[in-house]
C-alpha cells in the first residue's frame, strides 16, 4: 500500500438473496483506489450499484466478496470495537437529508451523536464542537441547535448532515447523491460548501452521483459503473474529453449543453432496456445496448486494463480502436 493510497477496493462484490432461491449481484468485482486529498466521482445510471459500493465501504452491510482496505486496515476482518474506532475517520452523507436525520432529536444531539457513540469528549466539549461544526456549514448554532429536522428546508438539513459528518474530523467522506433531492440553486450552495470543507479540513471525497455535469465540476477522477461493474476510470478532464467506453460516451452525449452558439454533437443514444441484475448478459454486460457489440462481447468478459496512462477501461472495442 502506497503512502497516498487512502482507500483500496479489491474485487468488491455485494450479492443479496431473493425469494425463490434467486440472487441479485448488485456489485461485481469492483476495484479502484482513492488517493488522499482527491475527489473521486462514481457515476452511472440508477440501479448500477453506486450506492451499494458506498454502503459496502461503510460495512452497511459488509460486502459479500473482496476487500475494503482503509488506511491499511481490512475493514471486513476487524472486530466490532476496532471497526467502530476506525469508522470515526470515515463518514457518509446520505442521499435524502430529511430521512437521514432522526425527527425526534434536536439538531445538537444529531450532530453530536458520532461523538456520543465513540465516547469522545465531555458534554461541554461536545457542545463546543457542535457549535464549530454548525458554523462551518453556514448555520447559526444559537438558532438551530434546539430545533428539530422538520423545521428546516432540504438544503439546511443537508448542511446539518454535513456538520454531523465533520464532527469527528474524518479523513474520508462518502457523499451518496448529496444534492440529487435538492433544488438547483440549493444544489450549487451544497457543492460549494463541500469544496470549501474539503479545502479547509483536508478531506478526501468519494462523490456518488448520476449527474455527470455535477461530477465533472467537483471530481479529480471519475469512475463509471454499469450494471454492477466498472466500465472506465480516468481523470475528469480526460474522461469528458475522450471517453473510451461506448457507455461513457453515451452518458456524455446526454449532458445538456447550455450554449446556443455551440453546434450539437451527434448523439450516441442507448438502445434497448437495462438488463436485469438478477440475470445479467453473458460476457460484457453492456453488449445488449452497445452499437459496437460483436460475437466476442457475448463470449468473453472484457478485462479491466490500462488503455493509456492512468486511463482504465473494460471494453473489447474501445472508441479509439476500430471494431474488429
Q: Taking residues 103-117, report their average pLDDT.
A: 93
For residue 32, the model assigns a pLDDT of 95
Q: What is the pTM of this model?
A: 0.89
Identify the bridge partners of residue 305 per DSSP, sorted by sequence position.
313
Q: Taking residues 42-64, report their average pLDDT.
A: 91
For residue 109, the model assigns a pLDDT of 94
Better-predicted residue by pLDDT, 254 or 15: 15
For residue 2, the model assigns a pLDDT of 64
Q: Where are the domains of the chain?
A: 245-324
Q: Taking residues 39-65, report their average pLDDT.
A: 92
- Asked whether the beta carbons of 110 and 101 are under 8 A apart, the reply is yes
Percent of the chain with pLDDT over 70: 94
Q: What phi and psi, each to the nearest 5 degrees, are found at residue 58?
A: -80, -5
For residue 321, the model assigns a pLDDT of 47
- Asked whether the beta carbons of 134 and 108 are under 8 A apart, the reply is no
**For residue 323, pLDDT beyond 60:** no
**For residue 18, pLDDT beyond 60:** yes
What is d(CA 46, CA 49) in angstroms, rounded to the nearest whole number? 8
- Asked whether the beta carbons of 7 and 30 are under 8 A apart, the reply is no
For residue 94, the model assigns a pLDDT of 87
Q: Taking residues 30-51, report their average pLDDT.
A: 92
Tell me the per-residue pLDDT of 170-227, one tens digit each, with 9 for 90 and over.
999 999 988 877 777 788 888 888 898 898 888 999 999 988 888 888 899 999 999 9
Buried-exposed string 120-137: b where 16+ CB fall within 10 A, e elsewhere:
eeeeeebbebbbebbebb
**For residue 152, pLDDT beyond 50:** yes
Q: Taking residues 133-155, report their average pLDDT.
A: 92
DSSP code of residue 119: T
- Asked whether the beta carbons of 208 and 51 are under 8 A apart, the reply is yes
Work out the mean pLDDT of the chain and round it to a whole number. Answer: 88
Can you tell me whether residue 177 is helix, strand or coil? coil
What is d(CA 195, CA 38) in angstroms, rounded to the nearest whole number? 11
**For residue 322, pLDDT beyond 70:** no
Which helix (H) or strand (E) is 46 found in, with range?
none
Please identify which residue in the block is written with the cell numbers 450554449: 259
Tell me the per-residue pLDDT of 261-302, one tens digit each, with 9 for 90 and over.
655 555 556 777 788 888 888 999 999 988 888 899 999 999
H, E, C per residue of 210-277: CCHHHHHHHCCEEEEEECCEEEEEEEHHHHHHCCCCHHHHHHHHCCCCCCCCCCCCCCCCCCCCCCCC
Amino acid at each position: 500500500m502506497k503512502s497516498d493510497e487512502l482507500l483500496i477496493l479489491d474485487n468488491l462484490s455485494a450479492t443479496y438473496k431473493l425469494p425463490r432461491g434467486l440472487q441479485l449481484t448488485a456489485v461485481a468485482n469492483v476495484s479502484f483506489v482513492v488517493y488522499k486529498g482527491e475527489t473521486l466521482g462514481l457515476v452511472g445510471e440508477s440501479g448500477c450499484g453506486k450506492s451499494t459500493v458506498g454502503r459496502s465501504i461503510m460495512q452497511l452491510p459488509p460486502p459479500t466478496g473482496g476487500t475494503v482496505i482503509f488506511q491499511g486496515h481490512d475493514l471486513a476482518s476487524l472486530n466490532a470495537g476496532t471497526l467502530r474506532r476506525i469508522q470515526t475517520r470515515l463518514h457518509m452523507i446520505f442521499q435524502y437529508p430529511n430521512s437521514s436525520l432522526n425527527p425526534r432529536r434536536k439538531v445538537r444531539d444529531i450532530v453530536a451523536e458520532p461523538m456520543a457513540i465513540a465516547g469522545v469528549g465531555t458534554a461541554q466539549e461536545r457542545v463546543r464542537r457542535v457549535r464549530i461544526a454548525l458554523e462551518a456549514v453556514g448555520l447559526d448554532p444559537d438558532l438551530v441547535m434546539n430545533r428539530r429536522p422538520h423545521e428546516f428546508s432540504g438544503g439546511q438539513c443537508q448542511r446539518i448532515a454535513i456538520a454531523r459528518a465533520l464532527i469527528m474530523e474524518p479523513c474520508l467522506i462518502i457523499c451518496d447523491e448529496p444534492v440529487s433531492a435538492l433544488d438547483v440553486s440549493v444544489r450549487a450552495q451544497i457543492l460549494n460548501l463541500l469544496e470549501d470543507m474539503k479545502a479547509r479540513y483536508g478531506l478526501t471525497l468519494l462523490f456518488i452521483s448520476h449527474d455527470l455535469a455535477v461530477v465533472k465540476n467537483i471530481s479529480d477522477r471519475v469512475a463509471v459503473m454499469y450494471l454492477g461493474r466498472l466500465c472506465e476510470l480516468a481523470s475528469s478532464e480526460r474522461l469528458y474529453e475522450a471517453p473510451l467506453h461506448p457507455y461513457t460516451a453515451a452518458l456524455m452525449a446526454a449532458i445538456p449543453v447550455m450554449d446556443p452558439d455551440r453546434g450539437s454533437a451527434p448523439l450516441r443514444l442507448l438502445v434497448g432496456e437495462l438488463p436485469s441484475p438478477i440475470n445479467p448478459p453473458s460476457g460484457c454486460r453492456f453488449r445488449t445496448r452497445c452499437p459496437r457489440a460483436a460475437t466476442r462481447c457475448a463470449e468473453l468478459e472484457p478485462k479491466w486494463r490500462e488503455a493509456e496512462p492512468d486511463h482504465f477501461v473494460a471494453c473489447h472495442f474501445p472508441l479509439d480502436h476500430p471494431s474488429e
